[in-house]
Amino acid sequence: MNFIKFILTSAAVLSLITTQGIAQSNFVEGYIVSQDNDTTYGYIDFRGWIKNPRFIRFKRNKEMEEEEYTPSNLKSFHVDNRFYVSRKVRIDSNPRSIGNLEDMPDSRVDTVFLQELVRGETSLFSYMDQELHFYAAHDGRVHPLIHQVSKGNRNGQSIVMRNEEYIEQLKSLFKGCSAVLEIDNLRYSMKPMIELFERYNQHCTAPGVQYVHTQEKAKVSFTLQLGATRGQVSYNRHSFGSSTNLVFDESLNLTLGATLNLLLPGNLGKWSATSELLYRPMNYTYTTTGGNSSETRTYQIGASYLKLNILVRRHLRWDNVQPYLNAGVSNGFAFNTTNKGVSRYGDASSEIQPALLGNYRRYELGGLAGLGISSGMFNFELRYEITDGMAEWNLASEGTTANNFYVLVGYRL
């Protein structure tokens, strides 16, 4: 299996598991409020939405058929301590990323589910599609807090034009409240907006703050890893019409290290970013006969490696057991290297010069993928890695490929 084929296969498996994960339902307790203000308790298919849902699926009890509701036929719903309300609002349609800016600001009017972030005399709502949008509600009316970015032209030069009208809107809305300061530099993002509306309602209104959405944060965990690695190296050399292809004996060695896992917020904890530092010694041997049948030649290459791996992890949840898939990039740094050959003829032996590898490269790049399962504090993983080995490519077209299979057991601290 070559490196490109391995990467494509890993991406295909990750895509398949992601598709299967999306198909899984997650009905949890919640309630819906109809346009006639009738409240119905039951179960909502909660997906840990990052983008606001276009519709929801609801069951009156777990045995009944699910029903689908859109913003047009619901007034609001509540699930997992999140509140969503149906409102007809104007939504800015333009992307704000510099590489995708458009010439003219554009918007549309749509009926959508807004997420409630702060509830009080003046409330804050958000809507997330390709971009994040905020809305302020006061006296029963909902107003978009306008933030637009577009392309412009000045003296023949392309420029970025920003309409940060939300600053003046907030100054007008919170006029006379001394507790609300520093609006001029307020960023158009979740944390500062929530803090501003919470502070205003807490200090400057009689009802005070009735509800504040708690933002989900990334969760960090540390895991100690212990296991074994079985590796094999193939050596290839092509020069002036001749070629050398050697497949070294497999090497089985202890592997140990530590993992830092960052569980990303949203999507019910399905995704995490993982970095690892592993220690792994590897030594490979190849033995062949020389031109004389009584001569044997033994080549040895190897090193101790510190491996810095960066992976993306996709989690699935099955009751108390959590299967997962890893895929990522490995970076190996070699020390205590071995690169020698010995010729033996009877009782005599001599070192083969020059060594098999013209130069032992101390950095190797690879790709890896693995399937694992975690339960409680423990996890077990099978992993495959392919790297470019330890030979530096040169005019003789010398190269190596290393294939490694890991069995790892982890304990989460």
Is the distance from CB of 57 to CB of 43 less than 8 angstroms?
A: no
Give the mean pLDDT of 377-383.
94
The average pLDDT across 122-141 equals 93
Q: What is the pLDDT of residues 24-61, one digit of tens each?
A: 678 999 999 999 999 999 999 998 898 999 999 999 98
Q: Determine the average pLDDT of the residues in 348-360.
A: 80
Tokens of 304: 């101790």
Q: Is the distance from CB of 302 to CB of 283 less than 8 angstroms?
A: yes
Q: pLDDT per residue over 89-121, tens digit each?
A: 999 887 777 766 676 777 889 999 999 999 999
The pLDDT of residue 265: 82
Q: Using 50, 70 and 90 to split pLDDT, how confident is the model at 1?
A: very low
Distance CA 287, CA 50 (A): 58
- For residue 383, CA distances in Å to 108, 290, 322, 370 come to 48, 37, 17, 4
pLDDT confidence of residue 253? 94
Distance, CA of 62 to chain centre = 32
Average of per-residue pLDDT across 364-391: 92
Mean pLDDT of 280-300: 82
Cβ contact 366:384 at 8 Å: no
Please state the separation of Cα 10 from the chain's center in Å.
15
Could you give all domains of the chain from N- to C-terminal order, each with its CATH number? 26-212 (no CATH), 217-412 (2.40.160.20)
% of the chain exceeding 70 in pLDDT: 89
pLDDT of the residue at 290? 64
Would the pLDDT of 295 be above 60? Answer: yes
What value does the mean pLDDT of the chain take? 86
- Residue 273 has which token pair? 């970013």
- Enumerate the β-bridge partners of residue 380: 373, 409
Radius of gyration for the chain, computed over Cα atoms and rounded to the nearest angstrom: 30
Which residues lie across from 239 on neighbouring strands? Answer: 242
Residues 6+ apart with CB under 8 A from 140: none
User: CB under 8 Å to 339, separation ≥6 — which residues?
Assistant: 300, 301, 355, 356, 357, 360
Nearest residue to 307 (alpha-carbon basis) of 383, 371, 400: 383
pLDDT at 3 over 50: no
Residue 19: is its pLDDT beyond 70?
A: no
Asked whether 203 and 243 are in contact (CB, 8 A), the reply is: no
318 pLDDT above the threshold of 70 = yes
What pLDDT is stored for residue 269 in this prediction?
78
pLDDT band at residue 397, thresholds of 50, 70 and 90? low
- Report the distance separating Cα 147 and Cα 159, nearest Å: 17
What are 209-252's pLDDT values in tens digits? Answer: 899 998 888 889 999 999 999 999 988 876 655 667 888 899 99
Annotate the chain with three-state secondary structure. Answer: CCHHHHHHHHHHHHHHHHHHHHHCCCEEEEEEECCCCCEEEEEEECCCCCCCCCCEEEECCCCCCCEEECCCCCCEEEECCEEEEEEEEEEECCCCCHHHCCCCCCEEEEEEEEEEEEECCEEEEEEECCCEEEEEEECCEEEEECCEEEEEEECCEEEEEEECHHHHHHHHHCCCCCCCCCCCCCCCCHHHHHHHHHHHHHHHCCCCCCEECCCCCCEEEEEEEEEEEEEEEEEEEEECCEEEEEECCCEEEEEEEEEEEEECCCHHHCEEEEEEEEEEEEEEEEEEECCCCCEEEEEEEEEEEEEEEEEEEEECCECCEEEEEEEEEEEEEEEEEEEEEEEEECCEEEECCCCCCCCECCEEEEEEEEEEEEECCEEEEEEEEEECCCECCCCCCEEEEEEEEEEEEEEEC
Question: In this predicted structure, what is the pLDDT of residue 5?
Answer: 53
Q: How confident is the model at residue 22 (pLDDT cuts 50, 70, 90)?
A: very low
Distances 12 to 9, 15, 27, 123 between C-alpha atoms, Å: 5, 5, 28, 44
Are the CB atoms for 297 and 349 separated by under 8 Å? no
